[in-house]
Structure formats: structure tokens, C-alpha cells
Amino acid sequence: MNIKDINEILVQSIGNLDIKCLNDIDEKISYSYNNKNELIESFKILFEELKSKGITSLDVQSSKCNFCYPDKDAYAFYNPTTNDLVLRYVIFQESPDFYRVEECKNKLNILLTQNLPF
């Protein structure tokens, strides 16, 4: 399975707040030091938390983090009702058997120049 496929599956899963399609990701790969089942469980908890707040899906846009991984793929997920940023994830392949799937918790600081960190 290539990174494009994994990115699409992860983005779809997060956007739909649904872990079902995560069953299709490769189980031989480490996802930010989690195996497939651990990754699925962590997203299950996250999705349940968001749903308990009344969020049923998320809109996605390509994003960027200028701090930790400035040259990697990032995705911003917004509440479709309020257009508020809910999550940002960095997703990329670090090695043949390791994918970085990490929430970007950097917050925009208007005092910084050049719109860092985003």
C-alpha cells in the first residue's frame, strides 16, 4: 500500500469520523509508533469525543505546519457548521514501514510573522 492510499484512507476516516475504512490500512506498518489496531483504537476514542460534542463530520483542506514538518503533507479538519478548526494532522511516510500520523497541536500566533506556524 502506498502513501497516497494511506493518506486517502486516513483523511476519509477522519473527515467522516468513521473507523471502518481504517481496516483497509496495512497492518505490517507502524503508524507513529502504533500498530494498526492501536491507531484504530485511538481514532475511535477521538471520533466518539467529537461526536459527543455534536460534530458528525469534518470538512478537510490541505494544510501545512511550518514548525515540525514544513515539507510534509498536512490536513486541516473543520467543523462544517461553524467552520472552526477542529484538528490538523501531519501524515507522511518516514520509511518503508513507518508512517507519521500525528496531530499538529501548534496554534496560530498572530504576533509571529509570515503566518507561522501555518
Asked if residue 113 is part of any domain, the answer here is no
- Per-residue pLDDT tens digits for 35-48: 999 999 999 999 99
pLDDT at 61: 95
Instruction: State how far the Cα of 56 lies from the Cα of 111, in Å rounded to an integer.
Output: 33
Average pLDDT of the segment spanning 11-36: 95
CATH number of the domain that 11 lies in?
3.10.450
pLDDT at 47: 98
pLDDT at 115: 52
- More confident: 10 or 1: 10
Asked if residue 63 is part of any domain, the answer here is yes
pLDDT at 68: 82
As for how many domains the chain has, the answer is 1
- The percent of residues above 70 in pLDDT, for the chain, comes to 86
Asked if residue 93 is part of any domain, the answer here is yes
CA dihedral sign, ordered 77, 46, 26, 16: negative
Residue 59 belongs to domain spanning: 3-103
